[in-house]
């Protein structure tokens, strides 16, 4: 794989998913470093701190919907308000266990969201997701 992403951010309150996804990303070798956030609030605070620096911001964000304190939608509502530098390229995927049309339609309303994938995300599925970004880049 010629194209390489520098940082991925996993935003999900599920510890098992966090570990499995982290290992899957590591094994793919496509991404250098991984950031882990256990709810939307934790993640948004990180972005609010780092928005002005050119380092440490993930180019791939895997976002869960159902989380305590701040869910995925609330995260997105806050995220789009952050005045990032124009050269910050990010791809956001929603990774949720929900396949209801309510959630799928809601995701389409966010321009910042590139895609929606329903859990479970196996190794093969993750390779597909990776290919969809690197192919498009």
Partner 1 sequence: MNDVLHFFVKLLNSSDWPPRWHCGNWSAFHGWLYIASDLLIWGAYFTIPLIIIRYITRRKQQQFRKLYILFAAFILACGATHFLDAIAFWAPVYRLSALVRAITAIVSWITVFTLIRILPYAFSLRPTQTLEAELEMRKKIESDLEVKNILVQEGRQLFKNVFDHSAVGIALVHPDGRWLNVNQATCDLLGYTKEELLNASFQDVTHPDDLATDLAYVEEMLQKKRESYQMEKRYITKDGAAIWILLAVSLTWQDGKPAFFISQLIDISAKKRLRMEVEKKNAELESHIVKINEFNRIVAHNLRGPASTLINMTDFLEKNCNEEDRNFLLSKVKDTSMLIIHTLNDLKDLLEIQIQQGSQTAPTYFSDALQSSMLMLENEVKGADAVLNVRFDVPEVCFPKPYLDSVFYNLLSNALKYRRDGREPVIDIHTTSRNGHIVLTVKDNGIGIDMQKYGQDLFKYKKVFHKGYESNGVGLFLTRSQIEANNGKIEVESEVDKGTLFRIYFEKQKL
CB of 65 to partner 1, least distance (A): 7
Q: For partner 1, which stretch binds (CB under 8 A), given 15-23, 85-93, 107-115, 129-137?
A: 15-23
Binding mask 19-58 for partner 1 (x = CB under 8 A): xx--xx--x-------------------------------
Site membership for partner 1, residue 99 (CB under 8 A): yes
CB of 55 to partner 1, least distance (A): 28
Residue from 7, 31, 119, 134 touching partner 1 (CB under 8 A): that is: 119
Which tokens hold the place of 22? 């982290």
Q: Is 118 exposed, middle or buried (0-12, 13-18, 19+ CB in 10 A)?
A: middle
Site membership for partner 1, residue 98 (CB under 8 A): yes
What is the C-alpha separation between 102 and 84, in angstroms, rounded? 29
Nearest of 111, 117, 112, 114 to residue 98 by alpha carbon: 117
What is the C-alpha separation between 106 and 87, in angstroms, rounded? 27
What is the C-alpha separation between 38 and 10, in angstroms, rounded? 8
Site membership for partner 1, residue 14 (CB under 8 A): yes
């Amino acid at each position: 794989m010629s194209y390489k992403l520098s940082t991925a951010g996993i935003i999900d309150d599920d510890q098992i998913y966090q570990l499995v996804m982290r290992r899957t990303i590591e094994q793919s070798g496509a991404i250098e470093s991984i950031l882990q956030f256990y709810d939307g609030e934790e993640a948004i605070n990180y972005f609010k701190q780092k928005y002005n620096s050119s380092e440490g911001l993930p180019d791939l964000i895997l976002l869960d919907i159902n989380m305590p304190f701040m869910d995925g939608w609330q995260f997105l509502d806050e995220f789009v308000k952050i005045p990032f530098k124009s050269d910050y390229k990010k791809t956001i995927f929603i990774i949720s266990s929900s396949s209801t049309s309510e959630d799928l339609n809601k995701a389409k309303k966010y321009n910042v969201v590139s895609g929606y994938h329903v859990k479970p995300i196996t190794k093969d599925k993750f390779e597909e997701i990776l290919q969809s970004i690197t192919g498009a880049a």
